[in-house]
Amino acid sequence: MAKPKLKTKKANRPAIVWFRRDLRLSDHSPLLAAIKTGHPVIPIYINDTISPEIVRYGAASKWWLHQSLTMLEKSLQQKGSQLILRQGPAVDVLHDLIKQTDATGIYFHHSVLNGEQQIENDLARLCKKLEIDCKRFKGELLFNPADIKTVSGTPYKVFTPFWRACLTSEQPSVPKAAPEHIPAPDAWPESENLNEWQLCPLKPDWASQFKEYWTPGERGALLAAEIFINKAMDDYQTNRDYPHIDGTSRLSPHLQFGEISIKTLWHKSFAADKESPGAATYRKELGWREFSYHLLHHWPNIVDEPFQEKFRAFNWQGSKLHLKAWQQGQTGYPLIDAAMRQLWQTGWMHNRLRMIVGSFLVKNLQLHWHEGRDWFFETLLDADLANNTAGWQWVAGTGADAAPYFRIFNPVTQSEKFDKKGGFIRNYLPELANLPDKYIHDPSNAPTDVLEKAGVILGQTYPKAIVDLKQTREQALKAYAELKDKTN
């Protein structure tokens, strides 16, 4: 049975603002444009678990989504508004809301992802048929992937010339402030209960500890940005490589849900210190996010298929037991294990460690990069589709502008270089806390008396190394050489 149409005076017909990966009020062009029409505004978020084109969220990201929607609802209430929650195919839900409210139009941020663009186009055709407005606005990225092309008019496949082209193109506009007030409709349509969406884990509640590390929502995002810019950005170019130093922005989960716009971060970095090497390095890291979306926009099949065609023939092998050990931080290589436990405990992993654990999975353990992609998708709070895909293709050597397959990160030497005193390892592997700095990076090679004194029993209190680094490196290089022979 169709829902009854709300009684609305013609002059008070509402405008619908469709919130997507933009869960904020500041620098929100669709919201500001809807308010500018003079019509009441109905904000809506749709939990579309049906349409195949919609980007999905993993388990950890669902937890964040719940918190972020809760904070967005509070922010809207402070502006005199509400957040309507609905589930179902996005176009069907919006069609139903249009009919129910006699809306004048729909306003939303445009997605650069091909599947979601299909939904936008379907919505645009519906609005045209109903003779109402369908207004799309840029805002997901700094630069539109369709506008950044080579001299020959093709998409970029290498980061450095891509980023050079971005920096010489029209620069991002200045972000706009949040509205002072949002006009409400005469009557509010029904909204679903967020708790009934069951986005948060219950039995067991493995996400309970996340609140110790994170403050989801726009206010938390703006605070995190200010802390990073004022305290860490100047030294970002050096400190970002050391996991025991709080030298990164930790803004990636906030960015994934659009709690802060990337334009805001861009302009804040210039306002802080335009000439700072740290600020320039940080903007370049934002550029890698742009490049990931650029690749996914132009080559949407890279979510599952290797960017480099030759790797379709690669013989991935690996052991499910090794995969489980990697997931649980039980490989016998402390930096790998500490990183994987950081991921489970906090929902996040330091960027350099993502490269190291990724290299270990695909090269030393010979497991398909899909295994790592899927685990990160479920456990990362910032499991952004473009970044996660491009990151795994990069580390596996299968992607555009990727690290060559024969580049293999040694977790022991990386640990000795970037966690010299073992502070990061001791934080997440307390069972190794009493080992001397000299041996904490590779307990398997520590003398028996040193292990005994530290209370470490390999195979009991801490696992023995599950593979030999030298041997598996040689096997990986051999597999790559065989692939070259096949594809030449």
Catalytic residue among 192, 285, 378, 416: 285
At 395, list the tokens.
Answer: 């580390």
Number of Cβ within a 10 Å radius of residue 243: 26
Task: Tell me, yes or no, if 392 is annotated catalytic.
Answer: yes
Nearest to 44 by CA among 96, 7, 1: 96
Catalytic residue among 239, 351, 427, 434: 351
Residues 336 and 357: beta-carbon distance below 8 Å: yes
DSSP state for residue 381 in the 8-state scheme: T
For residues 107 and 89, what is the distance between their CA atoms, to the nearest angstrom? 17
DSSP state for residue 431 in the 8-state scheme: G
DSSP state for residue 483 in the 8-state scheme: H
For residues 46 and 61, what is the distance between their CA atoms, to the nearest angstrom? 16
Catalytic residue among 259, 392, 394, 410: 392
Nearest to 75 by CA among 238, 220, 284: 220
Tell me the three state secondary structure of residue 293. Answer: helix
Q: In what order do the strands lie in the sheet with 84-87?
A: 84-87, 41-47, 15-19, 105-109, 133-137
Task: Tell me, yes or no, if 288 is annotated catalytic.
Answer: yes
Q: What share of the chain is helix, strand, coil (3-state, %, to 5)?
A: 50, 5, 40
For residues 205 and 308, what is the distance between their CA atoms, to the nearest angstrom? 40
Residues 261 and 24: beta-carbon distance below 8 Å: yes
- Which DSSP string corresponds to 152-204? TS----SHHHHHHHHHTSPPPPPPPPPPS--PPPSSPPP---GGGG--S--SS
Nearest to 68 by CA among 354, 299, 343, 260: 260
Catalytic residue among 197, 206, 288, 344: 288
List 85's β-bridge partners, or say none: 45
Nearest to 340 by CA among 318, 321, 323, 320: 323
Task: Tell me, yes or no, if 192 is annotated catalytic.
Answer: no
Residues 44 and 18: beta-carbon distance below 8 Å: yes
Nearest to 156 by CA among 401, 405, 390, 386: 401
145 contact partners, CB below 8 Å, separation of at least 6 = 112, 155, 293, 294, 297, 298
Catalytic residue among 64, 369, 375, 394: 369
Task: Tell me, yes or no, if 285 is annotated catalytic.
Answer: yes
Write the Ramachandran bin of 150: left for phi over 0, alpha for psi from -120 to 50, otherwise beta: beta
Name the residues annotated as catalytic: 285, 288, 316, 351, 369, 392
